[in-house]
A and B are shown apart, each in its own frame.
Chain A
Amino acid sequence: MLSRGTVYKGKTGMWAFTAHRVTGFLVLMFLLLHVVDVTLAGISEHLYDTVHAVYGNVLLRLFEVGLLGALVFHALNGLRIIAVDFFDAAVRRQKQLAWAVVAVTAVVTVLGGIVIMLPFFTHKPVF
């Protein structure tokens, strides 16, 4: 299908392009799973609560931090793609924009990650 290679030129853009596909795919896989677990609420209160409680364990909390990172990266990089597609100024600064996406993703994921992980250790919600 793709004989001429893909299109965003340059290292940063290509790297962001690949990460966009990987994070998008992973978020979709989680969404499919998530619809199934919410469906349980339509079947039985007990069944839903039993399965849902699993999301509180430490491994799944780490998974949720990963989901947050993938989601925030995909959202911000998507905005960068739209900006680069429609605005010349964004094309000129696409490299800085890509690094801004990475930086904001890192900050949001770390801060959000703390809020997500803490209740496992303190046994009470942060907010």
Chain B
Amino acid sequence: MAQTLDRNETGTESDQSSAAPNRAEARMWYYMRISGLILVFLALIHFAITHIVNDVVETDFAFVQTRWSNPLWRFFDWTLLALALSHGVIGVRTIAEDYIRKPRLRVAVKALLFTVVAGIFLLGTITIVTFSA
């Protein structure tokens, strides 16, 4: 796997002191491609519905109410939320690994990133699940 990672853009393969970090990197490498492939459809469909098929001012409270009266739309939105946030957090983590050289600063930035994204995921999940249509 290390050979494969050396050729790709994840750029986080420098720590080769043990096999475990590389296994985690490889899993993330695959996760980014699989989640990305699904997100191409979910994110673009979502944007098309809320900005192209409907004008942005039409997606008011009544629109949300109608849409979330169907549990399948709640499932669609939650799947998009979960995939987009996890894809995004792994992507920004890789950027932090690449560009932040000071170890303590890097740890601090990643801790902040994970905390903020976890909080937003919780907020979004609560909103989708508890909204009364």
Interface residues of A (CB under 8 A from B): 1-4, 6-8, 17, 21, 24-25, 27-28, 31-32, 35-36, 38-39, 41-42, 45, 48-49, 52-53, 55-56, 61, 64, 67-68, 71-72, 75, 78-79, 81-82, 85, 112, 115-116, 119, 125-127
Contacts and interface: CB of A to CB of B under 8 A. Distances in A.
A72 B44 contact: yes
Given A39-B124, A55-B57, A71 B44 contact: yes
Interface residues of B, number: 51
Contacts of A48: 60-61, 64
Contact of A1 (B57, B92, B97, B124): B97
A3 B14 contact: yes
A32 B60 CA distance: 19
Given A7-B9, A115-B52, A39 B88 contact: no
B14 A2 contact: yes
Given A25-B92, A85-B8, A64 B43 contact: no
Contacts of A55: 56-57
Contacts of B88: 24, 27-28, 31
Given A21-B95, A28-B91, A41-B131, A75 B43 contact: yes
Contact of A119 (B36, B44, B55): B55
A94 to B, nearest CB: 12
Given A49-B61, A61-B56, A75-B43, A38 B8 contact: no
Contact of A2 (B57, B89, B98): B98
Given A1-B14, A116-B52, A41 B123 contact: no
A6 to B, nearest CB: 5
B104 interface: no
B81 A6 contact: no
A112 B51 CA distance: 9
A68 B47 contact: yes
